[in-house]
Structure 1
Amino acid sequence: METKILSATDVDVAAETLKNGGLVAIPTETVYGLAGDAMRGEIVRKIYEAKGRPSDNPLIVHIAKIEDVFRVSDDVPEAFFALAEKFMPGPLTVVVPKGKAVPYEVTGGGETVAVRMPSHPLARAVIERSGCLLAAPSANVSKHVSPTTAKHVYDDLNGKIPYILDGGECGVGIESTVVSVVTDVPTVLRPGYITAEMLGEVLGEVKNFEGKVIKTAPAPGMKYKHYAPRCEAALAANASAAVRLYEAANGDGKNPVILAYGDNKKRYGSLNVIDLGDTPADAAHRIYAALREAEDKFGYIIVDKLPDGGLASSVMNRILKATANE
């Protein structure tokens, strides 16, 4: 099967494919998602198969309107609606109690379900026209760097899915924030563009998840390796450390590159560099594309450390996993 890239005018083709039980990669504001009907367990299993994803790693259900949450949960906490009023549509996923209609394939066997309403107009249009709620994890091979362009999806999934709907480059660039509102204190399970501080302004007390998932994960990104490039990668604590890592790798013939952030770029002179920009939002937008470019052109990746706090910490969450080399 040759995967076809659809243009933005082909929304109806994508919607009809999904309605008929097929899979389509769709753009969202965060990353491209591999979409299928979330309410049909046999379709959800196709998503896991196409990605090579462990079936106990839960998926997010994408909705087109707030009231769709009642299709996936029989007991929606008030906190969901408070968050929805402030942040939806947008890059926020909220974990709520699972409804009976939701297949366990979506939740990884758990009793909660993750729900999000994307802001990307093509994603919303596909959901609305297909009539399906969509399970849509990142449209890449499991554990690899997430895709932020249609080409990234094609590079990973050509021959495994029929269509990719091209909506251009993703605006945010990292996956949605995931917050659970079924815990005593709302808990951030995965950091993202919507920070814990922003959530706290709506909910009051919010905490970050600490510890290790042993059995059932309530959200994606908590249990398995993610965001890994296909070559060795390292985190540099500062510009001097980056230069030392570069020189050592170059001496070993590894053809290194530095993913450079902010003013550090000025210190790298003629070294191979890919620019992550000057702000945390720049870095979020560019990090996955930079990792993919680096793995294609170089043999060793060095990533600058970002400052602590806010969105920068969310980007660092991805960088730390990408450079874990596990």
Structure 2
Amino acid sequence: MKTLFLDANAPDTAAIAAEIIRSGGLVAIPTETVYGLGANGLDENAVLKIFEAKGRPQDNPLILHVAQPGEMERFCHDIPESAYRLAEKFWPGPLTMVLPVKDIVPKRTTAGLDTVAVRCPDSDVTRRIIALAGVPIAAPSANISGKPSTTTAEHVRHDHDGRIDAIVDGGPCRVGVESTIVDLTEDRPRLLRPGGITPEQLIEVLGDLVVDKAVTAQIDKDAVVKAPGMKYRHYAPAEPVVIVSGSREKAAAYIHAHFTPGDRVLCFEEELALYADCAPLAYGREADVNTLSAGLFSALRILDDPGIHQVYARCPVGGGVAYAVQNRLKKAAAFHIVDAEAEA
């Protein structure tokens, strides 16, 4: 298969991509979060191609992307008032809502569940593609399943060149981590995955929020989940990742004491000098967590090298967007965390 590379700014790109979607093909689409691997979300055969291309477990549900907020009514029923408030505040944007699903959405898209995850992305070209295709686009992140997500078209090219129909190049993703997911089908709203819309912002609108166990700990591989990124080891390079928490000085002392040839250090820009002899790679500035969010997956992809023995990673603390960065790093590390303060 020859993969088309389409410039998001070219006048005919949206029409070409929409025709591929309508014809049952796969198109990598840019969003503000990560690049998605998209297909017609109402076509079971097209959706199956997503799972096959990614090597994705079929019990891992997909997110349905719509062109306009009001389109969620085509695919969802018994929509609570809170969903409309969230859509008014955050759509288009990096927020996904889990809602009761209508029969029009095939079970393959929802992983057999009676709910569906829906979002309206903040990407003009992607919303045009959806509108021209006339169908919602089911799209998980465009990486090979379990590997670090794709935040540039080049990342997608690396994983899927010759394996999918087209890649739409919209430049680097602004947010850099997948969308926040909130479940609105229970008595209380439940955070299933943190992202660019923070828990604090959700609480401002909803007044209440429960954090699912999958956000803070590894859950059982047999658990039934309502949204992507909850169950399996995700975002991970080939080698083991160990998060080292604690002060800069204590963390550096621990890492230097355990560092061996072939290891790497993933750290903040402010810490590079501390690890000058430990092959450090900075993924952003601790003082600006948005740079950490935007740079995390690019850094993890650089570190996805079988020649590396182990990665020691530094993780931001606190709420807001830092909470999402923590979640992705902990998933990459399979929640292997060392407290350098306790080890000192």
TM-score by length of 1: 0.94
- Does residue 258 in structure 1 map to residue 265 in structure 2? yes
**Deviation for aligned residue 1:48:** 0.7
Equivalent residue for 1:307, pick from 317, 329, 332: 317
1:262 CA drift (Å): 5.2
Structure 2 alignment gaps of length 5 or more: 337-344
Residue 283 of structure 2 corresponds to residue 276 of structure 1: yes
Which whole-Å deviations, capped at 9, do the CAs of 1:234-257 have from their partners, x for residues lacking one? 21214343454356343xx31x32
The partner residue of 2:304 within 279, 288, 295 is: 295
Tell me, in whole angstroms, the C-alpha distance in 2 between the residues paired with 1:231 and 1:3. 30
**Match 2:236 to one of 206, 212, 228:** 228
1:196 Cα offset (Å)? 1.2
Shift in CA distance, 109/145, structure 1 to aligned 2, threshold 3 Å: same
Partner amino acid for 1:63? V
Instruction: Give aligned pairs, total.
Output: 323
Superposed displacement of residue 41, structure 1: 1.3
For residues 104-123 of structure 1, the aligned pairs below 5 Å read 104-123=107-126
Distance of 1:70 and 1:117 partners within structure 2: 13
AA partner of residue 223 (structure 1): K
User: Which one of 191, 194, 198 corresponds to residue 201 of structure 2?
Assistant: 198
Cα deviation for residue 263 of structure 1 reads 3.1
Counterpart residue identity of residue 141, structure 2: S
Q: What is the match of residue 167 of structure 1? A: 170
**Does 1:86 find its partner at 2:93?**
no
Select the residue among 130, 133, 141 that pairs with 1:130.
Answer: 133
Unaligned runs of 5+ in 1: none
Which residue of 2 is the match for residue 323 of structure 1? 333
Q: Secondary structure at the match of 2:232?
A: coil
* Separation of aligned partners in 2, 1:7 and 1:298: 34
SS in 2 for 1:95: strand
Range that drifts further, 309-318 or 229-238: 229-238
SS of alignment partner, residue 168 of structure 1: coil
How much does 1:295 deviate?
2.4
Secondary structure of the structure 2 residue equivalent to 1:258: strand
Residues 267-320 of structure 1 deviation map (CA, whole Å, 9 limit, x = unaligned): 223442222222211110000001111224961322112112221121010001
CA distance in structure 1 between the aligned counterparts of 2:273 and 2:81, rounded to whole angstroms: 49
SS in 1 for 2:213: coil
Q: Does 1:210 align with 2:187?
A: no
Equivalent residue number for residue 251 of structure 2: 241
Relative to 1, partners in 2 of residues 1:237 and 1:215: Cα closer, same or farther, differing over 3 Å? closer
Q: Is the 8 A contact 2:272 2:281 kept in 1?
A: no
- In the other structure, the counterpart of 2:77 is 74
Please give the alpha-carbon distance, in whole angstroms, between the structure 2 residues aligned to 1:167 and 1:243: 42
1:32 shift after superposition: 0.3
Indicate whether 1:23 and 2:26 are aligned: yes
Please give the alpha-carbon distance, in whole angstroms, between the structure 2 residues aligned to 1:60 and 1:144.
Answer: 18
Read off the aligned partner of 1:40 and give its amino acid letter. D
* 1:93-133 superposed Cα distances (whole Å, 9 cap, x missing partner): 00110111111111111111000000011211111121120
Tell me the CA shift for residue 176 of structure 1. 0.3
User: Structure 2 CA distance, aligned partners of 1:35 and 1:169?
Assistant: 18
Cα distance in structure 1, aligned partners of 2:277 and 2:235: 28
2:46 counterpart SS class: helix
SS of equivalent to 1:110: coil
CA distance in 2, matches of 1:230, 1:159: 23
Measured after TM superposition, the shift of residue 13 of structure 1 is: 1.4
CA-to-aligned-CA distance 1:1-49 (integer Å, 9 cap, x gap): 2323221212221111011111100100000000000011111111111
CA distance in 1, matches of 2:191, 2:146: 21
Residues 215 and 293 (structure 1), Cα distance of their counterparts in 2 relative to 1, 3 Å cut: closer
Contact 2:259 2:278 in 1 (8 A): no
CA distance in 1, matches of 2:25, 2:145: 19
> Structure 2 CA distance, aligned partners of 1:321 and 1:283?
16
User: In the alignment, what sits opposite 2:41?
Assistant: 38
